[in-house]
Amino acid sequence: MPPESDIDGMVKYFWGRVSGEVGFANEEEWDRWSEEITPHFENPTIDASVALAEFVQWFDPEPLMELLEGRYEDFERVKKRLPERLRFFAYFVLSSEVYLSKAYRRLGEADFQALGFKKRPNYEMLREFIYERIERKRFKAFFDRMVKELRAHLQVAGIPFGLRISQDATDMPSLKHDPEANYNDYYKEYGYKADVTIDLDHETLPLDYCFTGINESEERNLIPTLKNLATRGIHPKEHKVDGGYPSFKNIAYSESHSTHLIYCVQNGWVEKPEINEATVKKRYQRYHMRSDFRVVASLEFMLLYLQKRGEHELVGNFYRNATMSLEGDLLKSHQDSYKERSVKMEGFYGTAKCHTTLGRRPPRRGKDAMRFILDLSMLAFVFAAVIRVQNGVFTGLGNLGHFG
């Protein structure tokens, strides 16, 4: 058998060579030097801005690959070239540019290499990838997938996500003479509306959004929002909304699905004490011939059962009565909780209009162009958040104001 190696002697010899040839006195100095030259993720903050390309280079696009499988006939062959293209997509949505060509021209050779390209790619290839492979109409699907990825990381870290939410709409002024835009007396302008739901514990994080006409009621967006969130494993405990949302149908759906709807009591609402637990039990008995009827059922089960049977006014009134009957400390607590909604929603929209495409002039007239503006804006928030959590940062996730 060969003699055992003198490990200590080999290490001493190695460091002797390093010391003599490179100038390091010991292993500790080598480690410090290695630490300095090894690239590290830098989180852009108010104290230290980071170039956007340097930030985006840390994005792991693997979660988005599943959305591209059906877009190529030879996916297995081309997928190795997709990560850098997806990083460019992330750069585009974070750049606040509405024209892809402008985002492309902002990047130099070194920037493209940081994103993973061997050399500066052809513009047409990137245009085809984003507008024909990803497709504008599928931007919302990419947003949904990024929210799902964000939830997975925060869940592993034990950080609450999507438990307390708020929903509100804001105006999106159109270009002059837009034939598809309508005029709204409240906003005193022609345009459209964005209806966005945010996480109150991460106030610059949108969880869902939809694009609507400027005169369409926000009321119709609440239930689809809760259903969309549920498909991504998000089940809010609190949902704070203004007076445009709490219809009987919305109250009934939210409360009977374990999401407490917090809203301000509106002028003209009348409490109906005759709608109480006894009323609920009596109405429930009407369904005693159905196969899914339970002889022994809790109040919560009966309310959910009736809501599913379309008894929205009865169920909504029952829950609304509870809110309208609050008084004393309970009423003050409810009012204080409600105030959080306006502060954080206004802060979110302020950030969106200052640092994303939501505050930019649309590239053309029409609904599609305005929806494109909204898609890019919402994608910017979730891309920034996912890049952070992928690299171990769990605070200030949707911060967009500190890219150099």
- The residue ranking higher by pLDDT, 391 or 403, is 391
In the chain, what is the straight-line distance between the N-terminal and C-terminal CA atoms, in Å?
Answer: 61
Instruction: Give mean pLDDT, residues 309-322.
Output: 97
Assigned domain for 152 exists: no
Distance CA 359, CA 119 (A): 33
What's the confidence (pLDDT) of residue 8? 65
- Residues 25-52 pLDDT 10s: 556 665 565 555 557 889 988 888 999 9
Q: Is 235 helix (H, G, I), strand (E, B) or coil?
A: coil
DSSP string for residues in 319-372: HHHHHHT--HHHHHHHHHHHHHHHHHHHHHHHHHHHHSGGGSPPSSSSHHHHHH
φ, ψ of residue 199 to 5 degrees: the values are: -90, 120
Residue-averaged pLDDT of the chain: 91
Task: Indicate the number of domains in the chain.
Answer: 1
Name which of 149-158, 223-232, 395-404 the model is least confident about. Answer: 395-404
Assigned domain for 346 exists: yes
Instruction: Give mean pLDDT, residues 113-140.
Output: 97
Residue 284 neighbours by CB under 8 Å, 6+ apart: 297, 302, 305, 306
- Residues 162-196 pLDDT 10s: 999 999 999 999 999 999 999 999 999 999 999 99
Greatest CA separation found in the chain? Answer: 96
What's the confidence (pLDDT) of residue 266? 92
Burial of 334 (0-12, 13-18, 19+ CB in 10 A): middle
Assigned domain for 71 exists: no
Assigned domain for 361 exists: yes
Assigned domain for 228 exists: yes
φ, ψ of residue 45 to 5 degrees: the values are: -135, 175
φ, ψ of residue 262 to 5 degrees: the values are: -110, 120
DSSP string for residues in 237-257: SEEE--TTS--HHHHHHHHHT
pLDDT band, residue 1 (cuts 50/70/90): very low
Instruction: Give mean pLDDT, residues 116-139.
Output: 97
Instruction: Give mean pLDDT, residues 357-383.
Output: 95
pLDDT band, residue 2 (cuts 50/70/90): very low
DSSP 212: E
Domain coverage including residue 358? 162-271+325-379
Name which of 8-12, 123-127, 173-177, 192-196 the model is least confident about. Answer: 8-12
Sign of CA dihedral 64, 108, 81, 118: negative
Q: Which of 29, 10, 32, 9 is nearest to 19 (CA)?
A: 29
If you search the block for the tokens 């190696």, which residue do you land on?
A: 5
- The residue ranking higher by pLDDT, 320 or 4, is 320
As given in the structure block, the two tokens for residue 118 are 């061997």
- Residues 270-313 pLDDT 10s: 999 999 999 999 999 999 999 999 999 999 999 999 999 999 99
Q: Which of 211, 214, 216, 209 is nearest to 191 (CA)?
A: 214
Q: Is 205 helix (H, G, I), strand (E, B) or coil?
A: strand
List the beta bridge partners of residue 183: 190
Give Cα separations from 139 to 32, 91, 124, 158 (angstroms).
44, 14, 19, 29
Contact of 94 with 399, CB cutoff 8 Å: no
Instruction: Give mean pLDDT, residues 131-145.
Output: 97
Assigned domain for 333 exists: yes
What's the confidence (pLDDT) of residue 318? 97
What's the confidence (pLDDT) of residue 35? 52
Assigned domain for 316 exists: no
Contact of 379 with 144, CB cutoff 8 Å: no
- Res 110 pLDDT > 50: yes
Contact of 340 with 240, CB cutoff 8 Å: yes
If you search the block for the tokens 């280079």, which residue do you land on?
A: 57
What's the confidence (pLDDT) of residue 203? 80
DSSP 284: H
- What CATH number corresponds to the domain at position 222? 3.30.420.10
Distance CA 142, CA 198 (A): 17
φ, ψ of residue 289 to 5 degrees: the values are: -90, -10
Assigned domain for 252 exists: yes
Residue 134 neighbours by CB under 8 Å, 6+ apart: 67, 68, 71, 89, 142
Distance CA 143, CA 126 (A): 19
Contact of 382 with 143, CB cutoff 8 Å: yes
> What is the dihedral angle through the alpha carbons of 57, 58, 62, 67, rounded to the nearest 10 degrees?
-60
What single-letter amino acid sits at 391? N
If you search the block for the tokens 């928030």, which residue do you land on?
A: 381
